[in-house]
């Protein structure tokens, strides 16, 4: 049975061309389109082909092979960017009740007093803004800290939305009225725009995790609902890299369906109410001294 969608059959993409496009995307971004996602790929690629006014899959292959902008345009149409504010609240509870108080105690007498958190695969910004709200609400004197929240994604489009920081009332439904008032201002068009006091805590940058570069050490790394799109091999490589980028006793937050199991790293699983997070074991450091 053909794995091509009806759209693909009518737009002139062969199975072979689709396989080449899949390999091209996987090679550059690490994003895997296995059997279960072939229909999705075929559907999106055909729509993109029509949208670009191209006749055949080979035309598209030539285009994306010759131009980074064309490759990025196709990639944008293949990304899944589902996200929300305080998605899986138990994770933020763990951050506020366990992780931040622990870091606060550990670092309070440091000079400078700094906190670095990375949201890797931040999509349209809901995750890093939720992290920033949690930090500002948990630290006793946030202004006395150098708080740096780095938010990266492969998608330029998602980052543009994130940087603009404008959301509908519905998107902000999980915030309390006090949080809405403290961190967002209503716009004339009935939306809400993030206030500078929150926006200024976050640095947004485009970054492909499959070509990750070292950006220093972090106290916490969030990489939630991103690794599920990668091969086992890339997933394990990234978890090892995250481990290297964590401060001693730093924390890694993965998605529900993601684990460090096959990465062979010293990350201690910690269950806090309904959530599982990982802490970089200090043993690793002592052993390597």
Ligand X SMILES: C[S@@+](CC[C@H](N)C(=O)[O-])C[C@H]1O[C@@H](n2cnc3c(N)ncnc32)[C@H](O)[C@@H]1O
**CA gap 149, 202 in Å, rounded:** 5
Instruction: For the CB of residue 42, give the shortest distance to ligand X in the complex, in Å.
Output: 19
Closest to ligand X by CB, 17 vs 127, is 127
Q: Are 95 and 134 in contact (CB under 8 A)?
A: yes
Q: Are 171 and 124 in contact (CB under 8 A)?
A: no
Instruction: For the CB of residue 244, give the shortest distance to ligand X in the complex, in Å.
Output: 17
Instruction: For the CB of residue 131, give the shortest distance to ligand X in the complex, in Å.
Output: 10
Record the tokens describing residue 263, joined without a space.
């990465």
Instruction: For the CB of residue 82, give the shortest distance to ligand X in the complex, in Å.
Output: 5
For residue 220, the Cα-to-chain-centroid distance in whole angstroms is: 13
**CA gap 151, 166 in Å, rounded:** 16
Residue for token pair 């603009």 = 164
Instruction: For the CB of residue 162, give the shortest distance to ligand X in the complex, in Å.
Output: 9
**CA gap 74, 72 in Å, rounded:** 5
Please indicate whether residue 193 is annotated as part of the active site. Answer: no
Positions touching ligand X (CB under 6 A) are 29-31, 79-83, 87, 121, 123, 127, 153-155, 158, 208-210, 224-226, 229, 255
Which is the catalytic residue, given 22, 153, 199, 241?
Answer: 153
Please indicate whether residue 44 is annotated as part of the active site. Answer: yes
Q: Are 266 and 284 in contact (CB under 8 A)?
A: yes
Closest to ligand X by CB, 79 vs 103, is 79
Closest to ligand X by CB, 29 vs 179, is 29
**CA gap 278, 51 in Å, rounded:** 43
Closest to ligand X by CB, 29 vs 46, is 29
Q: Are 260 and 247 in contact (CB under 8 A)?
A: no
Please tell me the number of Cα atoms within 13 Å of 247 on its side-chain side.
14
Closest to ligand X by CB, 4 vs 202, is 202
State the catalytic residues: 44, 153
């Amino acid at each position: 049975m053909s794995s091509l969608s009806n759209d693909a059959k009518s737009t002139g993409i062969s199975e072979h061309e689709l396989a080449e496009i899949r390999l091209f995307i996987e090679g550059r971004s690490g994003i895997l389109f296995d059997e279960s996602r072939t229909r999705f790929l075929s559907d999106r690629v055909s729509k993109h082909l029509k949208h670009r006014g191209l006749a055949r899959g080979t035309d598209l292959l030539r285009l994306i092979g010759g131009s980074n902008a064309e490759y990025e345009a196709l990639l944008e149409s293949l990304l899944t960017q589902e996200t929300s504010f305080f998605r899986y609240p138990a994770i933020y509870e763990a951050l506020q009740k366990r992780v931040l108080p622990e870091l606060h105690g550990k670092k309070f007498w440091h000079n400078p007093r700094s906190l670095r958190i990375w949201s890797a695969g931040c999509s349209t910004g809901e995750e890093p803004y939720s992290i920033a709200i949690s930090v500002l609400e948990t630290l006793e004197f946030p202004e006395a800290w150098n708080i740096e929240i780095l938010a990266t994604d492969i998608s330029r489009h998602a980052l543009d939305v994130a940087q603009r920081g404008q959301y509908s009332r519905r998107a902000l439904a999980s915030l309390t009225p006090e949080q809405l008032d403290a961190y967002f201002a209503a716009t004339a068009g009935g939306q809400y725009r993030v206030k500078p006091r929150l926006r200024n805590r976050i640095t947004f940058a485009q970054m492909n995790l499959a070509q990750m570069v070292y950006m220093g050490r972090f106290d916490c790394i969030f990489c939630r609902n991103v690794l599920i799109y990668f091969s086992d091999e890339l997933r394990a490589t990234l978890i090892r890299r995250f481990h290297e980028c964590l401060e001693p006793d730093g924390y890694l937050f993965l998605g529900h369906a993601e684990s460090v199991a096959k990465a062979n790293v010293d990350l201690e699983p910690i269950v806090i109410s309904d959530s599982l997070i990982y802490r970089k074991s200090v043993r690793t450091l002592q052993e390597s001294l």
